[in-house]
Copies of this chain bind each other. A is one copy, B any other.
């Protein structure tokens, strides 16, 4: 069935659903997730709060929808940055993606906090979020894959005790890459978000002032850590 030209009711439903998410995202950007209020969203949209429950069965479900959208928005940003740097070398592409993630985070702090900050109360992310959440990681894997097929990938060391888990991760994530690389990548992936989170959540206040070059340098070191970059 086509997505346009369904019944008027169905069309209204998708429109209103989108309007709710838009308004919720606005309030999210203004006040943060904790202050997002269903009633306020409904009020702003000129409807009564109970009507909103026709579209989202609970506040958590609205948040889940926003989470998925945020993952997708971030993933799309990362993919676009990668595509824009498609002709550059692996390190440049790595840096471009990392910086795109950071820029997105700085521009959407509350959405970033929603997906990479502390999880909400008793909330557990449903499986639905997994594909959207994987997009940035897949881009990074792709960069390493390209480098591996070409000549440019050094193989980082790997602690023997990590070998079994590294093999497991490799089978799951990128069977064509060396386990050493996959283990290093997963760590770098988490570390990237450590850097961004510290900047975003104020941990660098009074410590790192000129953050652009700091981040660029850290990301460059991260690239070396996964085996990218000119062998010095």
Contact = CB atoms under 8 A, between A and B. Distances in A.
A118 B121 contact: no
The 10 lowest CB-CB distance pairs between A and B, nearest first, are A194-B194, A117-B118, A113-B118, A191-B191, A190-B198, A165-B210, A187-B218, A159-B217, A191-B194, A161-B213
A117 B194 CA distance: 11
Number of copies: 2
Interface stretch (A15-23, A50-58, A147-155, A168-176): A168-176
A34 interface: yes
Contacts of A122: 31-32, 35
Interface residues of A, number: 62
Interface of A: 31-35, 113-114, 116-122, 124-125, 130, 133, 156-159, 161-162, 164-165, 168-169, 172-173, 183-184, 186-187, 189-195, 197-199, 201-204, 206-210, 213-214, 216-218, 220-221, 225, 232
Given A34-B121, A217-B158, A195 B202 contact: no
Nearest to A130: B206
A185 to B, nearest CB: 11
A98 to B, nearest CB: 12
Given A162-B217, A165-B213, 10 more contacts: A32-B121, A33-B118, A34-B120, A114-B118, A125-B202, A133-B203, A186-B207, A189-B198, A191-B195, A194-B195
